[in-house]
Amino acid sequence: MKNIATLTLSVAFLFSCTNNSKSTTEKDSTINDSIAKETEAANTEYKPAFDGQTRANYIKTKSAYEVLVVNESLGLPWAIVNLPDGKLLMTEKSGYMMIVDLQKPYEIKKVTGLPKVNQYNQGGLLDVILDPNFDSNRTIYWTFSEPATDGSKNDQTSIAKGKLSLDETKVENVQIIYRTFPSHDSGLHYGSRLVFDKEGYLYASFGERSDDEMRKYAQDLKSPLGKIIKITTDGKAAPGNPFMDNKDALPEIYSLGHRSPQSLAFNDKGELWEVEHGPRGGDELNLIQPGKNYGWPTITYGIEYAGGKISDGATKHQGLEQPNYYWDPVIAPSGAEFYTGSIEEWKGNLFVGGMIKQALVRLVIEGNKVVGEEHILLDQKDRIRDMVTGKDGHLYAVGDNGKLYRIAKK
C-alpha cells in the first residue's frame, strides 16, 4: 500500500482520525456524538410500529482510522466488487466497466464489450457481481437499463452475464439472462442489486419504475417489477422458490412489495437484508423472508413528493411486513455491505451508501433491530454509491464525485 499513501499525500487527500488531531473525519464523529438522535424535522407525523424502528441513537467510532482518496477520476461509478487478486472491478454508469489495481490506483483499465445502456436519469450500467466460480470460469453478471428496440423511449432492467477476458480489457460471450417487464420510460426506480447465496443462486432486486400507473406492479405477482427474484445462473427460477406452485405468479419471485430496492446483502448468518428508497420519508431496511410482502404501495412511512398521503396514510396492514428500520427524513440509500475488515469495532455492522445525506452510513444491528447509526465521510460532500470490504481488510467506497475512498484502521 506504499504507492497509495504516497500518491494520496502528494495531493493532500489524507484525513486521519487520531486522538491528537482534529481531522475532518474526527469532527464529523464529534458532530454525531453531540446529539442523541436525528434532529432534522420529519416529513410525516406517522408513528413507528415499535420502539427503535426509526431514529436510532447516533454513535461514534472509538477506533482510530484514516480516510484516503486513492482515485478521483472514476466518472460516475455505480458498483464496486473485489477481483480474486485484490483489484477492484467497478461499473461506470455510461456503459463500461473499469479495473483499479490498488498498487497503481491512478492507472484505470477500461473494460468494454457490454450491451448498450440507456443512460437516462437513474438508468445506465448498474450493478456487477462475480460468479461464485469466477476463478475457473471468469464469468461476471451485471444489471443495466436496456433500451427498447421498437423506437420508443421505453427501457427495462436486464441482467446479463459474460466472461472477463484474460487481459481484463473486455467482456466476451455476452448473454442477457433476464429482462423485467413491462418496459417503461420514466428513467426511475430500476432497483438492480445482485447477490449470490451460498448455494450459488442469484438474487436480484427490481424497482417498480416510479410513476403512479406503475406502482401497482409491486403487488402484481405476474410482473417482476417491485420484487426480489431468486434465479439460477441461466436466469431460470431457483428450485424451492415460494411461488413455484402458484400458477398465477412468476416462479422466480422471492419477495414483493418493494419500491426501489437499492441494496442486497447477506450477513454472516446467511440472512438477506435489503434497503430501499421510500418516497418523501420512509426509506426502509428490511430482513427479507421468502414469500413475504413488504407493503409498497399499500403501506409506507412516507408521503408523496407533493405532500399528499399514499394509500390514505396507512403504515400497517395485516399480512404486510413492517420494515426493521426506516428513515424520515430519508438518506436516499444505495449499496450496502456487511463489514468483514480489520476494524474490530465495525465487524458485522451494515454500511449503507447515503446519497441525499452524502454520507457512508454505519448501522449496528442487534436482534434484527438497529441500535446505533453513524454517518461517515460527511466532509466529502459526496453521494456514496457503493462499498466493499477489500481483500486487504480495508473498506472501499465510491461516490458520484468520481472518487474511490479507502477507510483503513490506523
Catalytic residues: 189
What is the rounded distance in angstroms from the CA atom of residue 297 to the CA atom of residue 11? 48
Q: Write phi, then psi, for 17 (nearest 5 degrees).
A: -110, 100
Q: How many residues does the chain have?
A: 410
Cell numbers found for residue 212: 403512479
Task: Give me the helices (H) in 78-237, please.
Answer: 134-137
Buried b (16+ CB within 10 A) or exposed e, 225-261: bbbbbbbebebebbeebbbeeeeebbbbbbbbbbbbb
What is the rounded distance in angstroms from the CA atom of residue 351 to the CA atom of residue 338? 6
- DSSP assignment of 51-84 equals TTSB-PPB----S-EEEEEEE----SEEEEEE-T
DSSP SS3 for 278: coil
Query: Residue 375 pairs with which residues in a beta bridge?
Result: 361
Cell numbers found for residue 397: 467506497
